[in-house]
Structure 1
């Protein structure tokens, strides 16, 4: 891309479909473009959570790191809905600017 503008910010996704196995995979990323004369975002992401592909019964951990004025909070969501931070199925770690969400035993219903 030769030139970008703030209005190019958004969520970009790729949907890949296998014709032979009927499998679909979706991957998305967020792009935030600031105008040169804009103040830096506070907070802002230093490290974004990464997508993961694993088998049922496996373990997955999503992490992100932010910079900015503390204290901060992170709310993890699944398919647009807040994940219950009181559920014993999940482990949440919050440490000033580092946040993690772990599923020790992944179920088929966690796909998304």
Structure 2
């Protein structure tokens, strides 16, 4: 069993849904929604290769929405893991306007290319708003002075000779 958990604070009335690769997961015996106080969980009873991908916890009400995104990779015994292998995944954050934030991704071996995306589009690497740091197989994205426009869903994509691997995360504001 795999359990994803999301702590939601700051609102009294809201609905919560979970998504897999941007499609809503309907609660069932295989995918169970639970919550205790302000912790909302998705329990995946049995994990299969097709369950790999991006998972999002989305909380919404009449005022707006907030979400947290993560990636699940499923390793199958006896099969080679998808290359390139990400060994450190960037984490979602909740920040305040004007703050600096950074996201770190490490890979087992150097990919042919590594790309950072926001809301599905590559981030402009020539923009002065961002810093891109490479130190061996460690890649860092820095957002220097976060504004509301920086909120959204992000992804880092490591491209190898035959495959690509990605990891999703999100930026929310207090």
The reply on whether 1:5 has 2:48 as its aligned counterpart is yes
Structure holding more strand per residue: 2
CA distance in 2, matches of 1:18, 1:47: 33
CA distance in 2, matches of 1:33, 1:76: 22
> Which residue of structure 1 aligns with residue 150 of structure 2?
110
Alignment RMSD: 1.7
Instruction: Tell me how far 1:42 sits from its aligned partner.
Output: 2.4
1:44–1:71 distance in 2 versus 1, CA, 3 Å:
closer
3-state SS of 1:75 partner: strand
The reply on whether 1:41 has 2:75 as its aligned counterpart is no
CA distance in 1, matches of 2:99, 2:111: 32
Runs of 4+, deviation exceeding 6 Å = none
Give TM-score, length-normalised by structure 2.
0.57
> Which residue of structure 1 aligns with residue 27 of structure 2?
none
Give TM-score, length-normalised by structure 1.
0.86
CA distance in 2, matches of 1:37, 1:31: 19
Question: Structure 2: which 5+ runs fail to align?
Answer: 2-44, 153-174
CA distance in 1, matches of 2:82, 2:52: 14
- What are the Cα deviations for residues 62-112 of structure 1, in whole angstroms up to 9, with x where unaligned? 1111112x3543210110000011111110001221000101111111111
